[in-house]
């Protein structure tokens, strides 16, 4: 695990709400592709259910991070792509089961017109830094 430094509110920048403005680390960079609400067999989890989809996406992120020798403690950035910003509360609940409020990474949330298939409500990617 890399030692990460978090700067939640740099001088002259409004305090962050539910994310950290700056996260720095040294070590090996890990990029996790956008994850969707698919189970290990490639079947959709939670059709029309943002909470179920968010839970599955974070489980997939967890597994991808583990495959690289990383954990959510190593995550420096999350990007949320959602088809409706109304899904963000469900995403925050799922995120909270993996990342405590005092260790939030940098984050961006983007509303998109569509994802690769219409039944997907969200896609989340992660960037992590793990120790050398």
22 within domain boundaries: no
What is the per-residue pLDDT across 6-55, written as a single tens digit (0 to 9) for each? 888 899 999 888 898 999 888 999 999 999 999 999 999 999 999 999 99
Structural domain range at position 57: 30-130
Q: Is 88 helix (H, G, I), strand (E, B) or coil?
A: helix
The 3-state DSSP class for residue 43 equals coil
Is 12 inside any structural domain? no
Instruction: Assess if residue 16 is contained within a domain.
Output: no
User: What is the domain-level CATH number for residue 119?
Assistant: 3.30.1330.40
In a domain? residue 2: no
Domain-embedded: residue 106: yes
Q: How many domains does the chain have?
A: 1
Q: Rounded to whole angstroms, how far apart are CA atoms 49 and 56?
A: 11
Per-residue pLDDT tens digits for 64-120: 999 999 999 999 999 999 999 999 999 999 999 999 999 999 999 999 999 999 999
- Asked whether residue 79 is assigned to any structural domain, the reply reads yes
The confidence score (pLDDT) of residue 2 equals: 67
pLDDT at position 1: 63
Residue 120 lies in a domain: yes
Give the neighbor-by-neighbor strand order of the sheet with 106-111: 28-35, 122-130, 75-82, 106-111
pLDDT band at 131; cut points 50, 70, 90: confident
Q: Note whether residue 5 is domain-resident.
A: no
The tens digit of pLDDT for each residue in 44-63 reads 999 999 999 999 999 999 99
């Amino acid at each position: 695990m890399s030692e990460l430094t978090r700067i939640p509110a740099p001088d002259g920048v409004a305090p962050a709400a539910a994310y950290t403005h700056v996260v720095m680390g040294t070590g090996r960079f890990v990029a996790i592709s956008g994850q969707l609400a698919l189970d290990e067999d490639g079947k959709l989890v939670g059709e029309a259910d943002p909470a179920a989809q968010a839970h599955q996406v974070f489980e997939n992120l967890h597994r991808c991070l583990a495959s690289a020798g990383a954990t959510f403690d190593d995550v420096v950035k999350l990007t949320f792509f959602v088809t409706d910003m109304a899904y963000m509360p469900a995403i925050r609940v799922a995120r909270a089961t993996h990342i405590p409020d005092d260790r939030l990474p940098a984050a961006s949330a983007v509303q998109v017109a569509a994802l690769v298939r219409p039944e997907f409500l969200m896609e989340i990617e992660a960037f992590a830094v793990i120790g050398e």
